[in-house]
């Protein structure tokens, strides 16, 4: 080696390769999500996804193995809103809801958050439902989406019960939250019936408070 010649930094080259691989993976997943929503799961091919992401088909298979894995990853960034490697219930907005001590206020915050999330997940849910009858991978994904939500609402209900302010059994609270947060109720009332997001969030929060919050003895909800 000649004196004064810069030494090649293998670590730097390695970090660049890792960064490029991460960028490719992100582009692939986002392209997959967009194409699944645009064309349907069955009609969007791996070749289409590779072309849209600007990578080779071989790169897609090397990174993810198959289209079913891409569907799962597409769901992850849809429900989370980004590709950050953070558990949903540990995200800052969710932790803020979980940490609210007043149950009525917590449910109102949850309703507003669920409304915002529904705008992302409802189209994905409808796409997977449409594909599930003909594609086993989509059917498996649909079931997994339900299991994930149930796990999340189980945690929420447990923490709600711990406030001492819950008016119904914990499992009833879990099931009510689970049944109303898959995006379909939002889709029917906002997309099909023309409600605004603001009206839906307010209505959902009021409903949850009415159904789930234990009132002090002798206090009743006023009829409007």
Within 8 A by CB and 6+ apart from 29, the residues are: 70, 73, 74, 76, 77, 83
Contact (Cβ atoms closer than 8 angstroms) between residue 103 and residue 163: yes
Where exactly are the structural domains of the chain? 1-80, 86-224
- 219's tokens: 């206090």
The Cα-based distances of 97 to 100, 106, 159 in angstroms read 5, 6, 11
Contact (Cβ atoms closer than 8 angstroms) between residue 205 and residue 111: yes
Per residue of the chain (224 residues), give pLDDT as tens.
455 565 555 555 788 888 888 899 999 999 999 999 999 999 999 999 999 999 999 999 999 999 999 999 999 999 888 777 777 888 899 999 999 999 999 999 999 999 999 999 999 999 999 999 999 999 999 999 999 999 999 999 999 999 999 999 999 999 999 999 999 999 999 999 999 999 999 999 999 999 999 987 655 544 44
CATH label, 1-80, candidates 2.60.40.420, 3.30.230.70, 3.40.50.300, 1.10.357.10: 1.10.357.10
Q: Which residues lie across from 213 on neighbouring strands?
A: 166
Plot region of 112 (φ>0 → left; ψ -120 to 50 → alpha; else → beta) = alpha
Using the structure block, give the residue that is written with the tokens 């049944």. 179
What does pTM read for this prediction? 0.83
Contact (Cβ atoms closer than 8 angstroms) between residue 27 and residue 53: yes
What is the three-class DSSP state of 38? helix
Contact (Cβ atoms closer than 8 angstroms) between residue 32 and residue 65: no
DSSP 8-state class, residue 213? B
């Amino acid at each position: 080696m000649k004196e004064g010649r810069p030494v090649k930094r293998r670590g730097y080259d390695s970090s660049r390769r890792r960064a490029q691989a991460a960028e490719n993976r992100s582009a692939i997943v986002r392209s997959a999500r967009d194409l699944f929503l645009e064309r349907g799961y069955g009609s969007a091919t791996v070749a289409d996804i590779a072309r849209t992401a600007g990578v080779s088909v071989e790169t897609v298979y090397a990174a993810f193995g198959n289209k079913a894995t891409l569907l799962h990853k597409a769901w992850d960034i849809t429900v989370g809103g980004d590709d950050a490697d953070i558990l949903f219930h540990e995200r800052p907005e969710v932790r803020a809801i979980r940490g609210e001590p007043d149950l009525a206020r917590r449910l109102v915050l949850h309703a507003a958050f669920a409304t915002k999330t529904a705008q992302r997940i409802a189209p994905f849910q409808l796409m997977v439902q449409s594909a599930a009858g003909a594609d086993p991978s989509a059917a498996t994904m649909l079931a997994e989406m339900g299991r994930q939500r149930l796990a999340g609402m189980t945690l929420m209900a447990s923490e709600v019960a711990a406030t001492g302010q819950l008016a119904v059994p914990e499992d009833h609270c879990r099931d009510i939250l689970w049944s109303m947060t898959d995006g379909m109720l939002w889709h029917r009332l906002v997309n099909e019936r023309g409600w605004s997001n603001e009206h839906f969030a307010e209505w959902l929060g009021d409903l949850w408070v009415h159904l789930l919050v234990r009132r002090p003895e002798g206090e009743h909800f006023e009829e409007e």
